[in-house]
Amino acid sequence: MSQANRRVLLQRMAALGVGTVAFQRALIAQVASTERITPEMIEQAEWIADVELDAEQRQSVAQAMERALADARRLRKQEIDADTVPALVFRPDFFYAQADEPAAGRSQPVHLRWSRPSKLPKHADQELAFASLSDQAALLAAGKISSRELTALYLARLQRYDPLLHCVVTMLEEPALEQAAASDERRSAGSARGVLDGIPWVAKDLIAVPPWKTTWGGEPFRDQVRPDLATVASRLNEAGAVLLAKVSLGTMAWGDRWFGGLTRSPWQPERGSSGSSAGSASAVAAGLSTFALGSETLGSIVSPCRRCRTSGLRPTFGRVSRAGCMPLAWSMDKIGPIARHVDDLAYVFASLLGPDGKDPTLVERDFRWPVEPQLDQLRVGITGDKLNPMEESARDYLVSRGATLVELDLSSKLPTGAMSFILGVEASTVFDDDFRQAPKADYGRWPSTFRQAQFTPAIQYVRANRLRGQLITETERKLAEVDVVLGGDDLLLTNLTGHPSIIVACGSDTTENGAALPGVVKLTAAAYREETLLHIGSAIQRALPPQPLQPNLDAALQQLTKDAVE
C-alpha cells in the first residue's frame, strides 16, 4: 500500500473519529498488510456510526467499503482548485421567505394551445382506452362522451387487468367518479378548465394524496397517510384531471417489486415492468389510464418506459415541484409525466410548471406548446454508444428531413461512476430514523446501502459534489452544441447533471419469441429544452407510429387463469 493510500485511510478514520491515534495507525497497518477492509475493522468503527451490526452485515459493509475506498481514491486523484464550489447551492432566500408564509404563486409563463383533432375519433371502448389525451378531450368537448363514462371505462380496466399486472396499490373508485361528475357539471355550465378537465390519470404511490395512503411501495409504510397534498397532484386537481388510483413503485423507489408483488410489463407479462415508476408505465401501456405521473432519480422514468414500450418525459431538475413526494435524493429527484402519446406529455407537463413556495429548487422558464415544426435545421448528436434498431430508424427519418448528424463525446475524464454514492448517502439520510427504529423491517434492496452510508465521511460527499459541479458545466457545454442527442447510455451522467430526456414509443420491434410490440427511442437535450425534446419526439412518433399500439392483455389474462387452475 502506498504512502498516499495510507494517508487517505488515516484521514478517513480521523474524520470518522474512529478510535485513538494508536488504534488508527494499527488499523492502517492491517489494511496495508492485507489490502483489505475486514469485518473486524467495521466492528471497531460501529461506535462512531452509532450502529450495531451482525456478522453477516459487517461482512457486507466491509466489501462495500472496499469498493467505496476505490471510488474515494478515484475522486482524490482529481485536483480541485480552491475556487471550485460544490453542486449543492445554499438558498437562504427561500427559507427567509417562509417566515412570511408566501402564497404559492404560479408566475411561470406557460403558453399552451390545444390542437383539436380535425375529426372526432372513434369511441368504442377499446379504441377509447388507448386514444390520445387530445382525442379524448375532443370527444368530451363535443359531448360525445362524458368524463364519468371515460372514468368508469378505466376503472373497469384497472379492476380487470390488475391481477395480471399487479400495478394498483389503492383504487380510488368513489372519489374518481365524484371528480368526473364535477367535471361534467363544469362542462355543462360552459366552465371547463382546459384540455385536462375530465381526463383520468394515475399517481405513482410516492405522491401524497390525503386522506388516502401513500405507501412508498414499502412494507414499513403500507398504512402511511401523508399530511399534505403533493403540489403535482394539486396542480392536476386544479386542471380538472380525475385521479383513478395510486399505482406501484418498487420498495422505496428501487426496482419493480413491492409489498404487493412484482409489477409486470403489459407487453411481456412474464417480465417485470422495471422500476421504479413501475405501475405508472405499466398502467399507461396497458390502456388503464390516459396518463400517469412518475419520478426519476436514476432511471425510474426512462427504464420502465423502455420496458413497457410507452412514452415518458424526465424534465430538467428543478422544473417540477417535488413537494409532497417521497424524497429519495434531494439533489437528483425529478417528477415527470408518462403517456402513450408524446403530445400528451406536453399537455401534462405544462400543467405542472411554476413555483409553489415549497420546493426551493424550482426555476422559472418559459414553456410553449405546440411549437412550429422545423426539422431541417436540427443538429442531432450521436455518441459512441450503439443505437437500437428503432433509434436507427429515427436517425434515418430525421436525416431525410434535413437534420445534420454531429458526433458527440459525452464521456468525461472526471470519475462519474465514483460520484454515484451521492444518491445512496442522500437516500440513507431520508430513511435514517426509520431504519434505526426498525432495522429488521423489509426495506427491499436498501439495507446494505443504508449501512454503508453510515461510514461515508462528509468530506467525501462534499468533494464529490464539487467535482459534480464541474461535470454539470462540462456536460451542458457539450449538449448545447446540438439540439438533441439520439440514444446513448447516459443515465448516471444525466441524472447527476439534471439534464432532460424523453422516451418515445414508436415503430415496431419484436421480442425474443417473435411477438410484435412498439420500439422505443431515447432523446436527451441541454437544460430546459423540453420543448425541443417534445417537438422532435412528436415528429418521430407521427412519422413512425407505434405498431401495434395495444398489448394483447386478454390472452395473457386467460393464460394466467389457466395456470392458476392447473
We report the CATH number of the domain holding residue 385 as 3.90.1300.10
* Cα 31 from Cα 419, distance rounded (Å): 24
Structural domain that includes position 556:
110-408+481-565
Question: How large is the average pLDDT for residues 407-436?
Answer: 96
CB neighbours of 157 closer than 8 A, spacing ≥ 6? Answer: 129, 286, 287, 288
- Domain check: are 392 and 431 in the same one? no
Which residues are part of the catalytic machinery? 204, 276, 300
Q: 517 Cβ partners below 8 Å, 6+ apart? A: 267, 268, 309, 508, 509, 510, 511, 548, 551
Model confidence pLDDT, tens digit, residues 279-334: 999 999 999 999 999 999 999 999 999 999 999 999 999 999 999 999 999 999 99
Q: Supply the pLDDT for residue 459.
A: 92
Which whole-number Å values give the CA distances from 80 to 75, 348, 418, 457, 468, in the listed order? 10, 42, 15, 18, 11
pLDDT of 107 above 70: no
Tell me how far apart the alpha carbons of residues 209 and 230 are, in angstroms, rounded to a whole number: 7
Model confidence at 7: pLDDT above 70: no
Whether 440 maps to a domain, the answer reads yes
CA distances from 495 to 20, 76, 285 (A): 40, 22, 24
**561 and 436 in one domain?**
no
* Domain end (from 469, 490, 506): 469
Count of domains forming the chain: 2
The C-alpha atoms of residue 385 and residue 408 are separated, in whole angstroms, by 10
Any domain includes 102: no
Maximum mean pLDDT: which of 4-13, 72-81, 496-505, 553-562: 496-505
pLDDT at residue number 299: 97
pTM: 0.89
Confidence of residue 404 (pLDDT cuts 50, 70, 90): very high
Q: What average pLDDT is seen over the chain? A: 91
More confident residue, 10 or 152: 152
* In a domain? residue 12: yes
Statement to judge: residues 176 and 304 lie in one domain: yes
Indicate if 248 and 361 belong to the same structural domain.
yes
pLDDT in tens, 211-243: 999 999 999 999 999 999 999 999 999 999 999
- CB atoms < 10 A from the CB of 19, how many? 17
Cβ–Cβ under 8 Å, residues 210 and 226 = yes
Residue of 127, 71, 23, 32 whose CA lies nearest to 457: 71
226 versus 10: the higher-pLDDT residue is 226
Over residues 395-415, the mean pLDDT reads: 97
Write down the residue that cell numbers 413501475 correspond to: 278
**Model confidence at 50: pLDDT above 80:** yes
Q: Are residues 383 and 492 in the same domain?
A: yes
Asked which of 447, 469, 491 is the last residue of a domain, the reply is 469
Residue-level pLDDT at 275:
94
Summarize the confidence of residues 398-412 as an average pLDDT.
97
CA distance 379 to 480: 10
Residues 203, 124 within the same domain: yes
Residue 308 resides in a domain = yes
Instruction: Give the residue from 246, 240, 248, 237 showing the smallest Cα distance to 274.
Output: 248
Calculate the alpha carbon distances from 118 to 111, 341, 546, 548 in Å: 21, 17, 21, 23
**Residue 270: inside a domain:** yes
Same domain, 431 and 505: no
Say whether both 321 and 359 belong to one domain: yes
Q: Which residue has the cell 413512425?
A: 544
DSSP helix/strand/coil, 155: helix
Give domain status of residue 101, yes or no: no
Question: Are 419 and 364 in a shared domain?
Answer: no
Within a domain: 94: no
Q: Are residues 432 and 370 in the same domain?
A: no
* Same domain for 320 and 455: no
State yes or no: pLDDT of 24 exceeds 70. Answer: no
What number of CA atoms fall less than 13 Å from residue 161's CA on the CB side?
29
Please give the pLDDT value at position 1.
Answer: 47
- Domain end, chosen from 469, 490, 511, is at 469
Cα angle 394-398-401, degrees, rounded to a multiple of 5: 145
Are 139 and 165 within one domain? yes
